[in-house]
Amino acid sequence: MGALPAMHAGLRGPDRAGRDMSDESLIRMANQIAAFFRTQPGGPPSEKVAAHLDDFWEPGMRRRLQEIVRSGGAGLDEIVVEAVSARADAAGGNSPGRPG
């Protein structure tokens, strides 16, 4: 890439506050999903969160979310942690794969 104009620097990006911007996004989005399903009756919310992630999140994003969980899951809603861990177990560790 050529030199970027000043307007691209500093605002938001991979390097802000030493943390990956897309991680911040993933955590926020996952927590929002958890917040919705927490309020829904019938069945454990973590299962619904897991199903929602399977249906709408690209595998790379799910994989990254698993890594975040594995490295302590800082900032993640516990329902997300539960949902992601359940999938990881089902898939025998690393893969974000679908159940069944």
Q: Return d(Cα 58, Cα 5) in angstroms, integer.
A: 31
CB of 43 to other proteins, least distance (A): 12
Q: Residue 54's closest CA among 24, 7, 97, 100?
A: 97
Q: Does 12 bind other proteins (CB under 8 A)?
A: yes
Q: Which of 17, 18, 39, 89 binds other proteins (CB under 8 A)?
A: 39
Two tokens, residue 100: 């069944």
Shortest Cβ 10–other proteins spacing (Å) = 9
- Selected binder of other proteins within 14, 44, 74, 99 (CB under 8 A): 14
d(CA 98, CA 75) in angstroms, rounded, equals 25
Non-local (6+) Cβ contacts of 35 within 8 A are 77
Binding site for other proteins (CB under 8 A): 1-8, 11-14, 20-22, 25-26, 28-29, 32-33, 35-36, 39-42, 52, 54-61, 98
